Structure 1
Amino acid sequence: MEITSPNDQLRLVRSLFPNFAETLDAAHTEHGLAEAIPDQSGAGFDAWLDDEARQLREGALAGAPFATLPAAESSRFERAFAAARLVAQRSHLTLPEPEAFVEAGANLLALASKLAADPALVPVIAPYGLGPERWRELFRAAAEQQGSPLSGGEPLLLAAEAVDGFAILDSIPDVTSSRVEIALPEGGSVTWTLRLIPSSPKPPLLGLGFAHGPHVSLPEILMLQLMRIASGERPVDTESFTWLAGSLADGRLAARHVFDESEAVIRISCREIGNQGPHLGARPPVS
């Protein structure tokens, strides 16, 4: 789905909270407050709606998107979205609200049951379509965070093969994933997905070649690391490598991820798909 206008946003809010919308309409009519709402066709309304939504999220509706979930899983979703929002703000990106993913087909209750079954899983809200330089900007911003484990120089290093095949690595690997498309002010758009990613220090499946997937995508592993850093947590893959979805060089190569703690950088390198070893493995996503 694509949310590009204030009216789209208003329709989404009203469809998600019909009873609240009806009550609000009645209050506006009874107390003559309609004039307090700006014209719905311009930037003024957009800003007003954003402010109203923020106040609702921080007030009476705090946690509402996950209110029907068990407390532990609701908290895990809330923490994930809070961390992802911090990451997005650093690059002036708009993170979709949980309701947008629900409207796009995400089953939060089913995801919550999978979260409950595996404490290592983390909801990761990942953007596709940023391009290599925008990702580098995100990691430079993360390096400036107090106590960041990242180098202050260039904390995201992409191998030449990864840059050449970036369009493949930046494609959504699961066509069934719920996705939300948001237009960028400068043109173009970013597509966001929501999947559960294993966040254990090492991949849960080790010693396997690329054929043993499915694999986490490049945007998902990068976003997982940025979310962990934003939350003050240690990056994953300090002593291991994780295969990334998408084969390169006519199927001969695949990308892998590691956090090089000695250099304080994230490295995306490429190896032949048959390569395997005790420290190389997969983080199968769950959706």
Structure 2
Amino acid sequence: MFFSRAEHIGSLKRPCVLLQKRDAFQQGKCSAEELRACEDENIAEVVRMQLDLGLTTVTDGEYRRIIFYDGFFEHLGGLKVLNDPPQNIFQGKLERTGPLYGEAFDFLRKVAGPENVDKLKHTMGSPEWYHFRHGKHTYEPTAYANDDEYFADLAKIYQAEIHDLYVRGCRRIQIDDPILTCFCDESYRQLMEQDGVNAEELFDTYIRVLNGCIQNKPPDLAMGIHLCRGNVKLDRQPFTRGPYDRIAKKLFNDLDFDTYYLEYDTEKAGSFEPLKHLPPAKRVVLGLVSTKIPEVLSSPLNYDCGGGS
């Protein structure tokens, strides 16, 4: 299994020409084929840039997406995009009617070349995304009787998609999961309590859900999880705050992932002390360079890793 010493999390800054083309498409001023051609051209360029820089992690920059979780849920049966939606999100049973990311990965593999396939990483959104945001309104009662049924179907879909990517040659997959960082944040935990939700029980549920999604994965498939703190606020403030201390032990020991991408670019993330819970067979990639600060950081970067981390 290949591990690099330095990585990026996958999403790269979109070129202006691509942003303009996507705006034109949304306004009905260009066709889907024209947008696709623009995406292809810019993905090929950003792949060449990563290879020229000698990076050992190469992605398509998520250039086909508007936001990190695009390309998954909206293509499943059971979900319809409506201008005036009902209260519950999923109206029927979830169904994977075909590959969700296969075509995108095939193009990435083509432009990277066969000699670079081991460097390719595919990213995808987290399975608990809609459930955390919508709770009891995630699905219609006629679709699922309870959360266990809902998550069981979702796990099967993730398993099938991961298997399809593996068959196409992908050996590195990263789940982008901003939800787990909410359990580090006292303000979110208070909101859960106000809604009658036991934060620890919900966290345990999400650990089981994530494990179910990667159940029976091939041994040479590296699975990583990025605990994202968000990058969408106009004031560049993180989506969540708080150290990893509350979740570290369960995160590192109960979750069956190989690699953890942890954001440590602000003091709000706390110390490196929680890393003491990391088992020897797993690894952590520290996010030390911030995408939220426009200034170039001084070099070298010095960090006190604390006791035994």
TM-score (normalizing by structure 1) = 0.28
Give the structure with the higher percent strand. 1
Q: Which has the higher contact order (CA 8 A, sep 6+)?
A: 1
Q: TM-score, normalised by structure 2?
A: 0.27
